[in-house]
């Protein structure tokens, strides 16, 4: 009997041992699988995000703000992304080579941050259908090419209102880059707001035909000041005009970023371009696998365009209050930069009274409003 009991005990112990082995093996498999997934996730290669810049990040204007946006993107997405950029890329065949270099080196998403990169972006996008591209201020898209821009003209409306009140010579100097709709509608928005509060105002425009050339921008500023301009506006990329205003004792608006540190006694305010949240959202879409080709054109309501602090040393408090009220109205839609009636230089009615210019008109704007002297370069 005792022998039978001992045999049964041995059998049971063996079964329990085997059962324990099975459970242990299962546990090991589960742990190994979990660790494998965790390690695999932790070691996943970050998405590579590339940027093509027209100037250097140190311009403290257009490119500076795009680079601030790139850095914001990295701060928000951490190890999920890595980024690189190529600066001082001309808007010619060099741009094709620079964009292709990023695409060929494993970049998943490439932002090309100047209008005249449009054709080059599309050319390279055709060669790399699995790479995503985003072109700033452009209008041509493809399955792997999106476009984005900001309603800078809203800021021009506020700047124009301020200038109309503050000018003593009734002459505003405007340094423009290229005669493209983005720049033309900025000039028109500025003049419409300025002339509304000061019908005697005149704008003298110099076309620089460059985005980034500090020397050329400074020379244009000097010429306009010599022609009687006591306020300078610019649609170019550096703080050179602002510095010339400071030297001459006239007023100026900064461009793309707050440039007050370079001309504290002249800087009224600036239109700031805020790209960071957009870059972070679009890069995250690539990380998540949800990216699609879209067209984005946001303004003050979405925070893509903001005004720098108004200089209380140069502006009376009531004018600052008016500017702030205009910001609020532009954000909530109760005010529009292009409210009718609006006529072109030939006296033709372009926007009827009670109406506003639609996006189609704004995006294709290639005409001056009535009251602006000179011909628009073609």
* Mean pLDDT, each 10-residue run in order, the chain (378 residues): 40 42 44 42 79 96 97 98 98 97 98 97 98 97 98 98 98 98 98 98 98 97 98 96 98 97 97 98 98 98 98 98 98 98 98 97 98 94
192 and 252 fall within a common domain = yes
Asked if the structure places residue 126 within a domain, the reply is yes
Asked if the structure places residue 114 within a domain, the reply is yes
Asked if the structure places residue 21 within a domain, the reply is no
- Please give the full DSSP string across 139-181, using - where no structure is assigned: ---BTTEEEEEE-HHHHHHHHHHHHHHH-SSSEEEEEE---SH
74 and 200 fall within a common domain = no
106 and 228 fall within a common domain = no
Asked if the structure places residue 281 within a domain, the reply is yes
Asked if the structure places residue 9 within a domain, the reply is no
284 and 209 fall within a common domain = no
> Which of 188, 163, 162, 192 has the alpha carbon at shortest distance from 325?
162
Domain total of the chain = 2
Tokens at 101, concatenated: 């270099």
- Pairwise CA distance, residues 38 & 356, whole Å: 55
Say which CATH number the domain at 236 has. Answer: 3.40.50.2300
Asked if the structure places residue 158 within a domain, the reply is yes
Q: What angle do CA 172, 175, 181 make, to 5 degrees?
A: 105
- Pairwise CA distance, residues 107 & 103, whole Å: 5
- Pairwise CA distance, residues 72 & 276, whole Å: 5
Tokens at 328, concatenated: 């609020």
125 and 222 fall within a common domain = no
pLDDT at 26: 52
pLDDT at 378: 83
Domain membership of residue 76 as a residue range: 47-150+276-298
223 and 280 fall within a common domain = no
> Which of 42, 85, 43 has the alpha carbon at shortest distance from 279?
85
> Which of 311, 228, 219, 314 has the alpha carbon at shortest distance from 270?
311
- Pairwise CA distance, residues 72 & 124, whole Å: 27
> Which of 43, 44, 47, 46 has the alpha carbon at shortest distance from 131?
47
Asked if the structure places residue 255 within a domain, the reply is yes
> Which of 25, 112, 367, 61 has the alpha carbon at shortest distance from 214?
61
How many residues are listed for the chain in this entry? 378
133 and 156 fall within a common domain = no
323 and 351 fall within a common domain = yes
CA 195 from centroid of its chain's CA atoms: 28
95 and 219 fall within a common domain = no
Q: Which residues pair with 83 in a beta bridge?
A: 49
- Pairwise CA distance, residues 123 & 167, whole Å: 46
pLDDT at 2: 38
Tokens at 16, concatenated: 């329990």
209 and 350 fall within a common domain = yes
- Pairwise CA distance, residues 118 & 52, whole Å: 12
Asked if the structure places residue 194 within a domain, the reply is yes
Q: What angle do CA 170, 176, 182 make, to 5 degrees?
A: 110
258 and 334 fall within a common domain = yes
231 and 323 fall within a common domain = yes
Packing angle, helices 317-332 and 152-166, rounded to 10: 160
């Amino acid at each position: 009997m005792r022998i039978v009991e001992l045999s049964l005990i041995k059998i049971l112990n063996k079964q329990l041992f085997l059962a324990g082995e099975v459970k242990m093996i299962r546990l090991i498999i589960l742990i190994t699988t979990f660790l494998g997934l965790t390690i695999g996730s932790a070691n996943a290669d970050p998405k590579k995000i590339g940027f093509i810049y027209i100037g250097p990040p140190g311009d403290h204007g257009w490119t500076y703000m795009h680079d601030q946006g790139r850095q914001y993107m990295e701060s928000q997405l951490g190890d999920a992304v890595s980024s690189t950029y190529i600066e001082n890329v001309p808007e010619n065949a060099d741009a094709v080579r620079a964009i292709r270099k990023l695409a060929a080196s494993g970049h998943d998403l490439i932002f090309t941050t100047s209008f005249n990169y449009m054709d080059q972006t599309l050319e390279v996008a055709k060669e790399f259908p699995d790479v995503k591209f985003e072109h700033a201020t452009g209008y041509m898209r493809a399955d792997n090419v999106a476009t984005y821009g900001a309603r800078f003209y809203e800021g021009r409306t506020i700047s124009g209102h301020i200038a109309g009140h503050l000018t003593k010579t009734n002459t505003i100097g405007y340094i423009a880059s290229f005669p493209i709709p983005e720049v033309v509608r900025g000039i028109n928005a500025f003049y419409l707001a300025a002339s509304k509060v000061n019908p005697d105002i005149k704008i003298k425009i110099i076309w620089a035909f460059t985005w980034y050339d500090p020397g050329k921008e400074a020379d244009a500023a000097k010429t306009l000041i010599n022609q009687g301009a006591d306020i300078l506006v610019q649609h170019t990329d550096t703080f050179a005009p602002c510095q010339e205003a400071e030297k001459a004792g006239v007023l100026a608006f900064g461009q793309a970023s707050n440039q007050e540190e370079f001309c504290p006694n002249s800087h009224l305010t600036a239109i700031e371009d805020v790209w960071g949240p957009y870059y972070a959202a679009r890069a995250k879409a690539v990380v998540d696998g949800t990216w699609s080709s879209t067209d984005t054109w946001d303004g003050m309501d979405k925070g893509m365009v903001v005004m720098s602090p108004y200089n209380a040393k140069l502006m009376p408090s009531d004018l600052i209050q008016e500017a702030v009220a205009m910001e609020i109205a532009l954000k909530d839609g109760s005010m529009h930069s292009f409210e009718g009636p609006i006529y072109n230089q030939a006296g033709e009615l372009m926007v009827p009274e009670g109406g506003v210019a639609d996006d189609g008109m704004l995006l294709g704007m290639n005409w001056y409003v009535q009251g602006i002297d000179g011909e628009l370069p073609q």
